Amino acid sequence: MSALRILVPVKRVIDYAVKPRVNKAQTAVETAGVKHSMNPFDELSIEESVRIREKKSFAGGVDSIIAFSCGPPKAQDVLRTAMAMGADRSIHVEVKDGEEVEPLGIAKLLKAVVEKENINMVMCGKQAIDGDEGQTGQMLAGLLGWGQATQASKVSFEGDKGVVVEKEVDGGTEIVKSQLPIVITTDLRLNEPRYASLPNIMKAKKKKIDKMTAEDLGVDLKRRLKTIKVIEPPPRQGGGKVEDVDGMIAKLKELGAL
């Protein structure tokens, strides 16, 4: 029986509470001087991995939890957070500031790491809240030929290999059963991520971050999609307020909504 070796990809994104602004040149969203934090779905992945270890829910135990991030030097901040939450060590694939790697490129990097580190479970967020693509986990599973369970709201184990995942689908949930190795993507209802405590933040500073490049892993990150432009969505005109319920009904009729 082999223990779990979990890989958790995390992404540094603009904080979810910040309203993003498009830059003047309409080429991208303004990121300079904007608060960044760990992608919320990735926090769920770290939390779930740590809980599997703490609750001993997998009979073989958890051998290691490795956090991974591909991004600019500042991506190390989110790796430190991940380690303060309970990841054992980290891998950072550094790219230049402002260089955005596509999901397919990330999936290829992850595949190389999975093979290098002999990983048997990847716990991935269902999507990053900047690109909103929702592709990386599925792409990785495809490249590896592994099973996948997306938008997980519950993960449990059967014996020393079986994984049972409840997934969020349109209109409810669906349950699938698979064998290790597997790629799981996490959804909001999976758990409630912990806050990193101060002592753990201090301890995380001593944990190791392996730095490497895409070349080290033998991956070509050439982009396939070119961003032509980025614009603000057309603003909605707040139509002002009405005094009472009758006013509301009248206005809705006037607008043709009733």
Partner 1 sequence: MIPRSTISVLRQARTQLRPRGPTSVPSFSALSRLLSSLAVLEQRDGKLNHGSLGAVTAAQKLGGSITGFVAGGNIKAVAEEAAKVSGIEKIVAVDNAAYDKGLPENFALLLVENIKKGGFTHVIVGHTAFGKSLMPRVAALLDVQQISDITAIENENTFVRPIYAGNAIATVESSDDIKLITIRGTAFAAAEAEGGSASIEDGVDPKAESTTEWVGENLAKSDRPDLATAGKVVSGGRGLKSKEEFDRIMLPLADALGAAVGASRAAVDSGYADNSLQVGQTGKVVAPQLYLCAGISGAIQHLAGMKDSKVIAAINKDPDAPIFQVADVGLVGDLFDKVPELTEKLKQQ
Query: Site residues for partner 1, window 86-105 (CB under 8 A)?
Result: 102-104
Nearest to 87 by CA among 176, 150, 10, 192: 10
Residue 173, interface with partner 1 (CB under 8 A)? yes
| Residue type (1 letter), 153 | S
Question: Least distance (Å) from partner 1 to the CB of residue 95?
Answer: 16
Q: Measure Cα distances from 107 to 82, 124, 137, 226 in Å.
A: 20, 11, 7, 19
Residue 14, interface with partner 1 (CB under 8 A)? yes
Please, which of residues 48-77 interact with partner 1 by CB under 8 A? none
Please, which of residues 124-153 interact with partner 1 by CB under 8 A? 129-143, 146-151, 153
Is the CB of 23 or the CB of 197 nearer to partner 1? 23
The binder of partner 1 chosen from 3, 112, 164, 201 (CB under 8 A): 164
Question: Least distance (Å) from partner 1 to the CB of residue 101?
Answer: 11
Is the CB of 202 or the CB of 258 nearer to partner 1? 258
Question: Least distance (Å) from partner 1 to the CB of residue 162?
Answer: 10
Distance CA 54, CA 86 (A): 10
Question: Least distance (Å) from partner 1 to the CB of residue 50?
Answer: 21
Residue pair 59/160 in contact (Cβ under 8 Å)? The answer is yes
Residue 112, interface with partner 1 (CB under 8 A)? no
Residues 6 or more apart in contact with residue 212 via CB below 8 angstroms: 91, 92, 93, 94
Please work out the total of residues on this chain that contact partner 1, with binding judged by CB under 8 A.
80
Residue pair 87/8 in contact (Cβ under 8 Å)? The answer is yes
The binder of partner 1 chosen from 178, 201, 207, 210 (CB under 8 A): 178
Is the CB of 71 or the CB of 103 nearer to partner 1? 103
| Residue type (1 letter), 99 | E
Alpha helices in 33-149 (DSSP H): 40-54, 75-85, 103-117, 136-144
Distance CA 36, CA 46 (A): 18
Residue pair 248/239 in contact (Cβ under 8 Å)? The answer is no
Please, which of residues 24-53 interact with partner 1 by CB under 8 A? 29
Residue pair 50/38 in contact (Cβ under 8 Å)? The answer is no
Piece in contact with partner 1 (CB under 8 A), picked from 71-79, 166-174, 194-202, 207-215: 166-174
Eight-state DSSP code of residue 243:
S
Question: Least distance (Å) from partner 1 to the CB of residue 185?
Answer: 9
x/- string (CB under 8 A) for partner 1, residues 229-248?
Answer: xxxxx--xxxxxxxxxxxxx
Is the CB of 198 or the CB of 243 nearer to partner 1? 243
